[in-house]
Amino acid sequence: MIAFKWLSRGAIAPFTGFRWPVDGSWVSAPQSAPEGSGVHACRVEHLAWWIGEELWRVELDGPILEREMQIEAPRARLLGQVTAWDPAAFVQACLGRTEGFAAETPTTELADYVALIKTVDAPTAAFVASVAAVAARGTKQAFSEERAWQARWLSRALDLF
Amino acid sequence: MSSRVPDQPTCREIVELVTDYLEERLSLDARTRLEQHLVYCDWCRVYLEQIRQTIRVAGSVSEESFSPQRQEELVRLFRDWKGKK
Amino acid sequence: MREVTSAGSHPGELELVAALRRRDESAFLALVRRFHSSMVRVARVFVNSDAVADEVVQEAWLAVLEGIGAFEGRASLRSWMFSIVANRARSRALREARSEPFSSFEDPEGEPTVDPARFNPPDHPRWPGHWCSPPERWADEQLLLKETVELTKRAIDTLPSAQRQVIVLRDVEGCSSEEVCEALAVSDGNQRVLLHRARAKVRAMLEPHLRRNA
């Protein structure tokens, strides 16, 4: 199946430092590794949780394990980079959302989040906007609901399926 | 844990989990939450990297304490042992 | 970076063992050159002086020679030799100890390994528990400097003995966690706690020296 994967610059896995082959070679996770050591990827709805520097389309092979924030497969390969990914545009979108929250709920806290978002990178902006959503809405679910909004934004902006 | 950030560890909690993380002893759930935190927290990424760097530097502490005198002593030890039975 | 030893001897080792059984002196010398310094480091985490560590390792070499006939290759050669050294060093340390049981937990368990003052307090209005005095990135080039390695060695030397034992065996010598648990007769969980505290302390001791200049 086709899915998405966030990587650091140079197609490098952010937590393991593994350098993904950009020529589309298949990569298998080690067999004897503990649970959760397969290749991690995102369905569209998971995209906002794992924002990194580069977004790649990937092909997954083997039984897909569904997890709360991601999916996992024993084998995968990179298909191509989503070059339309524009972190600055994304940050602007998060800023717009947070300004909206601040307008709904004009507290110093929300004002602080607005100020903060102007200075941070894309993954942090996603986080701050989600925190702001909780502050504005007053519910724990607002956090993951905001991530869902961010995923929909990414899907439209990047023309993902 | 922050009330604004449901179910996610704080930096203070993260730094106490790094060894279990590197040893692959965190539950899948805990590992996901730790990695989630690292996505948006540059400082904890730096801390984790510094633990990795500390491990690497420790691995290069390897001065050799093997003198010619020591080698002679051990050769004698070997020949004595060889000479028995 | 030390390689982690896998369980079981590999073919090169079995060759060496066979040669040693044939009383081949050059095989013994090859073994000595490869392992002696590590064995001294291992002994040194248990006993109080370099001189005693040297004695322990001499005895250990004899034990290796005397035991080589019975060595089956189920564990790696290095693993087997390290446990001989560790056992002898521990016995020696016990005989010479006055009060301190060397494998005791010197730090109260559960104490934070990073100064709590570096984080926002729980009642912080925005970001409770987040860094307020965050770590600054270290340049990789600085880590390669001889001074940094020296500093690391000294930092390890100042650790409480149980933590020193674990970090030397795990990170300096590259032993596996199983090997360490056996050598120190501690559980995997205990070994991990000690390793955690040791690494955090060494990192903290390196930090002021590796801060990038303003």
Q: For A86-111, what is each residue's pLDDT tens digit?
A: 999 999 999 999 999 999 999 999 99
Q: Which of B11, B28, B40, B42 to mutate to test the interface with A (most CBs of A within 10 A)?
A: B40
Contact: C167, B56; criterion CB under 8 Å: no
Do residues A104 and A145 both lie within one domain? yes
CB contact A50 to B (< 8 Å):
yes
How many domains does chain C fold into? 2
- State the residue range of the domain holding B26: 11-84
In sequence order, the 6+-apart residues with CB closer than 8 A to the CB of C174 are: B59, C1, C2, C3, C4, C5
User: Do both C123 and C41 map to the same domain?
Assistant: no
Number of folded domains that form chain B: 1
Predicted confidence (pLDDT) per residue in A15-63, tens digit: 888 999 999 999 998 766 677 788 999 999 999 999 999 999 999 998 9
> Do A56 and A97 belong together in one domain?
no
C48 near C168, Cβ under 8 Å?
Answer: no
The answer to whether residue B6 sits within a structural domain is: no
**B2 lies in a domain?**
no
Q: What pLDDT score does C4 carry?
A: 41
Q: Does residue C91 share a domain with residue C132?
A: no
Nearest CA distance, C134 vs chain B (angstrom) = 6
Q: Is the ipTM of this complex over 0.85?
A: yes
Q: Are residues C189 and C119 in the same domain?
A: yes
Looking at C60, C95, C130, the residue that finishes a domain is C95
Q: Shortest CB distance from B43 goes to which of C29, C135, C192?
A: C135
Out of A81, A106, A138, a domain closes at: A81
For an interface test with C, the pick among B14, B65, B80 (most C C-beta atoms closer than 10 Å) comes out as: B65
Pair C119, C132: CB distance under 8 Å: yes
pLDDT score, position C140 = 84
Q: Residue C123's beta-bridge partner residues?
A: none
Identify all chain C residues contacting A112, using CB atoms and an 8 Å cutoff.
126
The pLDDT value given to residue B26? 93
Best of B33, B39, B56 to mutate (most A CBs within 10 Å, chain A)? B39
Question: What 3-state DSSP class applies to B27?
Answer: coil
CB C163 within 8 A of CB C201: yes
Residues C169 and C86 in one domain: no
pLDDT, residue B65, reads: 64
In a domain, B3, yes or no: no
pLDDT at position C125 is: 85
Q: Kindly give the confidence (pLDDT) of every residue in chain C, 214 residues in length, as a single tens digit, with 9 standing for 90 and above.
A: 334 444 456 667 888 899 999 999 999 999 998 899 999 988 988 888 889 999 999 999 999 999 999 888 887 888 889 889 999 998 998 887 755 555 555 566 678 999 999 999 999 988 999 999 999 999 888 888 899 999 999 999 999 988 999 999 999 999 999 988 988 889 999 999 999 999 999 999 999 999 765 3
φ and ψ at residue A62, rounded to 5 degrees = 95, 175
The C-alpha angle A27, A30, A31, rounded to 5 degrees, equals 125
A143 Cβ neighbours under 8 A, 6+ residues apart: A130, A131, A133, A134, B4, B5, B6
For residue C212, the distance in angstroms to the closest alpha carbon of chain B comes to 13
Q: How distant, in Å, are the alpha carbons of A78, A130, B9, C49, C171 from that of A137?
A: 39, 10, 21, 64, 48
Query: Residue C5 has what pLDDT?
Result: 42
Q: Please indicate, yes or no, if residue B77 is contained in any of the structural domains.
A: yes
Whether A98 and A72 share a structural domain: no
Say whether both A120 and A136 belong to one domain. yes
pLDDT at A37: 82
CB A38 within 8 A of CB A65: yes
- Please tell me the predicted confidence (pLDDT) of residue C56: 95
d(CA A33, CA A157): 37
C197 and C133 in a common domain: yes
Within a domain: residue C100? no
Q: What is the pLDDT of residue B63?
A: 67
**Residue B16 covered by a domain:** yes
**CATH value at residue B37:** 1.10.10
Taking residues B36-44, what's their average pLDDT?
Answer: 95
* Residue B1 in domain: no
The tally of domains found in chain A comes to 2
CATH number at residue C78: 1.10.1740.10
Contact in structure between A113 and A121 (CB atoms under 8 Å): no
pLDDT for residue B24 is more than 50 = yes
Domain that holds residue A116: 87-157
User: What is the per-residue pLDDT for A79?
Assistant: 97
Residue C21 structural domain: 6-95
Query: Which of C68, C95, C122 lies at the terminal end of a domain, its last residue?
Result: C95
**B31–A51: do the CB atoms touch at under 8 Å?**
no
Domain contains B33: yes
Three-state DSSP string of chain C: CCCCCCCCCCHHHHHHHHHHHCCCHHHHHHHHHHHHHHHHHHHHCCCCCHHHHHHHHHHHHHHHHHHCCCCCCCCCHHHHHHHHHHHHHHHHHHHHCCCCCCCCCCCCCCCCCCCHHHECCCCCCCCCCCECCCCCCCCHHHHHCHHHHHHHHHHHHCCCHHHHHHHHHHHHCCCCHHHHHHHHCCCHHHHHHHHHHHHHHHHHHHHHHHCCCC
Note the pLDDT of residue C93: 87
Find the closest chain B residue to C152 by CA distance.
B58
Contact B65 C37 (CB under 8 A): yes
Residue A96 shares a structural domain with residue A142: yes
Interface contacts (B, C; CB < 8 Å):
138
Selected residue with higher pLDDT from A75 and C79? A75
- Do A30 and A92 have their domain in common? no
Residue C52 covered by a domain: yes
